[in-house]
Structure 1
């Protein structure tokens, strides 16, 4: 049996409030890592949920764009669709348009997956990119300061989809993963890499996630059917940022302080 993981979930009134909390946490993690060792390394996901956070981070009416030390951030991706960066489905392309083009992050600090290449080549090149950027030796595993994840209504996270080969990958950092249900290839970090993150955070909103989230956290373990269950950080801590709807079938969360999100905990 895997060792226990303490899950903390913060429940916000709606998706915009959750996105603001995610942006605040993103900024805090960068500042914390830079203060500790002069650089921050974060890996972000694609999908619709992070887009609201990107817009907040780039919005001059919020403090983030001006106060985050963007020049000290190294930004990586958790997964990518096999399309060129100009394609509207590109995870990198969406982030570039909503965030990177509007803040002062140096181009050399942005490490995208090359979705326009053959999937196997792109995965191999990204593994080499991570090893070189983080100066990894031998079988050393990368340690990101923060990894941000979403979850699909089918229980997938990153591009670890149900009943696909990447679920069982333990040795590589990044792999190409064929998804029969979508008849497409994806590029994804593997679960052992994600689980080495200093902080691993899910951001989940919407009614279509309510049932599957409850199954992932409180149902029987079945990682082939619910790949999000693979995410069990090695430090024993997992954080979820949720809106009220997504959290509706979890054990009740409580209010710790006025004006703060409701907080619940459980062990998986």
Structure 2
């Protein structure tokens, strides 16, 4: 049986509010980690959802440019498409254009996946990078302060797609995963690595995710079809940042939490 996990889902009225909550979460985790041990290690995802968060983190009208200790942040990627860094579909390239080029993070602190290489070579090189940067030995897994995830309308997360070989990998840190349904290869952290993070947070928005999110959290366990169900952090806690559309079919969140923008809802599930 999988380990029990408490899911906390926080619900805002709009995607813009979710993006701001995501930016605040990232900033807070960086600040906490730096205060504790002088460095923060964050792994971010690609796709369209985090782009609004990147823009907020780089926005001069927001506090993040000056409050986040950018020089103490080490930034990693959860996954990458097998394209060059200047390709419009590159997860790194999008983040570089929207965030990295606008904030004072040292270039040496940015650890991209090399999507332009042979997929297996890129995965092997990124695994070596993780081991060397985090001084890992043997079967040790990296422990990120935050892993930020999204979820596709097919239930995939990272580049762990339904019914792909990468779902069965337990020993590697990084894999090249062939995705037949997209006729492509992807590079991805493995789900055991994601589950070792100090905090794992999904950011999910929109009506296209309503049904699949409810199925992932409240439906039968079927991780081959719904890979997001593999994300069960070892600390027993999992966070979802949602808009009302994405959360529409979850049990109604009743507890009120207060943000600078007003009162919102929070609910919990045991999975």
TM, length-normalised to structure 2: 0.98
CA distance in 2 between counterparts of 1:124 and 1:261 reads 43
Deviation (angstroms), 1:254: 1.5
**Is structure 2 residue 27 aligned with structure 1 residue 27?**
yes
Residue 223 of structure 2 corresponds to which residue in structure 1?
A: 223
CA distance in 1 between counterparts of 2:191 and 2:243 reads 25
SS at match of 2:50: helix
Residue 261 of structure 1 corresponds to which residue in structure 2?
A: 264
Assess if the C-alpha contact under 8 Å between 2:257 and 2:266 holds in 1: no
Deviation (angstroms), 1:240: 0.2
CA distance in 2 between counterparts of 1:67 and 1:131 reads 29
Unaligned stretches of 5+ residues in structure 1: none
Residue 213 of structure 1 corresponds to which residue in structure 2?
A: 213
Q: Which moved more, 1:256-265 or 1:152-161?
A: 256-265
1:71-150 equivalence runs, <5 A: 71-150=71-150
CA distance in 1 between counterparts of 2:194 and 2:257 reads 31
1:182-197 equivalence runs, <5 A: 182-197=182-197
CA distance in 2 between counterparts of 1:65 and 1:82 reads 31
Deviation (angstroms), 1:255: 4.1
CA distance in 2 between counterparts of 1:65 and 1:181 reads 40
Residue 202 of structure 1 corresponds to which residue in structure 2?
A: 202
Unaligned stretches of 5+ residues in structure 2: none
Runs of 4+ that moved beyond 2 A: none
CA distance in 1 between counterparts of 2:238 and 2:205 reads 17
Structure 1 pair 266/79, CA: closer, same or farther in 2 (3 Å)? same
Deviation (angstroms), 1:3: 1.7
CA deviations 1:214-250 (Å, max 9, x no partner) are 0000000000100000000000000000000000000
CA deviations 1:110-147 (Å, max 9, x no partner) are 00000000000000000000111101011111100000
SS at match of 1:245: coil
SS at match of 1:94: helix
**Is structure 2 residue 36 aligned with structure 1 residue 36?**
yes
Deviation (angstroms), 1:67: 1.4
CA distance in 2 between counterparts of 1:219 and 1:45 reads 25
Deviation (angstroms), 1:257: 4.0
1:133-172 equivalence runs, <5 A: 133-172=133-172
Aligned-residue CA RMSD (Å): 0.7
Deviation (angstroms), 1:261: 2.1
TM, length-normalised to structure 1: 0.99
SS at match of 1:152: coil
Count of residue pairs brought into register by the alignment: 268
